[in-house]
Chains A and B, each alone.
Chain A
Amino acid sequence: MAVTGIILFGFVVGHMLGNLQIYLGQEQLDHYAELLQANKPFLWAFRSVLLFCVSVHIWAAVVIWLRNRSARPVKYKMFQPPGLDYAARTMVWSGPIVALFIVYHILDFTVGTANPDFIKGEVYHNVVASFSNPVIALVYMAACLLLAFHLYHGLWSLFQTFGWDHPRFGWIRRALAIFFSVLIGAGTISIPLAVLTGFVR
């Protein structure tokens, strides 16, 4: 879970940085997209790795979820365990929702069937076409916010899983998780917001 999580986190950061080129104008973004598409075998190898990681990540989550469900067959009448934060409590929801969002996201910008006005290769145009619809833009912003929460819990959790902890430097784990989740949340949400407000058109 943690190993695939790191790889997927790395992808999200790279993906976001690539997409932020939308602020450098149409030419830059379309050129970047062209560059990604240039080497087909590499592209598909990359996609396979991602698909593999997503599959293992989901498989691990389901295995843990089933095990944890069976660990308490009789539920408490009143259960208010302290210390739970919002991100931790919602992992079981943010995960599947983000997974569904990824499918929609691929249909929107890669396959194009969910895009209101899809033109192959014209990424900038497709993004603007999609996000000009307030409903789609809001769905994206909500999904990216959930992704940020999911990453916050996932990021600091992986330090626990790997046993990376230190009495003096332990606080860095939460700080890093906050830093990256805010960065990713802000970066990804900014794009639909920029289109919606007419900053990018």
Chain B
Amino acid sequence: MKLTLEVWRQKNGGDKGGFSTYELEDVDTHMSFLEMLDVLNQDLIVGGAEPIAFEHDCREGICGACGFVVNGVAHGHQKGSTICQLHMRHFSDGDKITIEPWRAKAFPIIKDLVVDRSSFDRILQAGGFVTIRTGSAPDANALPVATDTLEHAMDFAECIGCGACVASCPNGAAMLFVGAKISHLALLPQGMPEKAKRALKMVEAMESEAFGACTNYTSCEAVCPKEISISGIARMNKDFRRASVAGAEPAHGKKR
């Protein structure tokens, strides 16, 4: 299979950057998208050129390291998968593929397709701790959680923080990510005590980063490799609204 790749190249954050075009012969249909880039990079290295920088780690679609925009769609056109799980059999001979990094003010480009997603880390840090007992493992049934509830929480916990939601949002909003993080803890008894405080802190942290605001385009859930639902955004809004009205401090029964 023969492919023409149009890839965004940028030396560093200060560089203006631009597209470079590469012709690639004999692409195996069994290759994953990243393996195809590995082959291209090998050619570049042999030819004395700088290889294309892209992030990757597990290549199993569960770590959240990889991700860029392929032909206008974050993680490529295959639903519910990261770019490392997209295989070249989904492309045809002679295709022209445009590859761009996540584009958002909150995700500054480090090099080529690698962006700095530490804005996500700062939001997570703002969420604070969860009061669980550390030390020896607790008794299996000490804290009963209904199967439906834990499945619901797990659906949100699946978020790998790849940033595709921000990349795909016409507004560059991070609400699916923050909604998933808030929801997965708020649904479980372990995360319940800090629910209000967490919603306030994480939404505040999100607002202080350079993300846009949600206008319900829903393209985030359409590209999410974990297919996380925008119901997480609704839950975040609800928790934030309640916490804003009632305050983040726990209620108390004595005059203080």
Most chain A beta-carbon neighbours within 10 Å: one of B104, B217, B241: B217
Majority secondary structure, B binding face: mixed
Asked if A84 meets B170 with Cβ closer than 8 Å, knowing A67-B212, A167-B231, the reply is yes
Q: Which residues of B contact A64 (CB under 8 A)?
A: 171, 212-213, 215
In the complex, B100 has a CB within 8 A of chain A? yes
Q: Interface size class for chain B?
A: 35 or more
Is B173's CB under 8 angstroms from A68's CB?
yes
Report the minimum CB–CB distance from B146 to chain A (whole Å): 13
- In the complex, residue of chain A having the shortest beta-carbon distance to the beta carbon of B207: A67
- B86-112 CB mask vs A (1 if < 8 Å, else 0) is 000000000000101001111000000
Q: Is the CB of B237 within 8 A of A71?
A: no
Stretch from A7-15, A28-36, A129-137, A153-161 contacting the other chain:
A153-161
Nearest Cβ distance between residue B177 and chain A, in whole angstroms?
14
Stretch at the interface among A74-82, A142-150, A179-187, A188-196: A74-82
Query: Does B19 have its Cβ within 8 Å of any Cβ on chain A?
Result: yes
- Please tell me if the beta carbons of B104 and A82 are within 8 angstroms of each other in the complex: no
Contacting residue for A170 out of B105, B152, B210, B231, CB 8 A? B231
B210 x A70 contact (CB < 8 A): yes
From the candidates B211, B222, B237, B241, name the one contacting A81 in the complex (CB within 8 A): B222
Q: Are B234 and A159 in contact (CB under 8 A)?
A: yes
B9-21 CB mask vs A (1 if < 8 Å, else 0) is 0000000000100
The winner among A68, A71, A73, A164 for most chain B CB atoms within 10 A is A71
Which 7 pairs between the two chains have the least Cβ-Cβ distance?
A163-B238, A83-B222, A71-B172, A80-B72, A71-B212, A81-B219, A165-B234
10 contacts between A and B (CB under 8 A): A70-B210, A70-B212, A71-B171, A77-B100, A79-B170, A81-B72, A82-B223, A88-B217, A88-B218, A163-B241
Given contacts A78-B72, A81-B223, 10 further A-B contacts (CB under 8 A): A64-B171, A68-B173, A71-B104, A71-B210, A72-B212, A76-B72, A88-B217, A88-B218, A165-B238, A167-B152
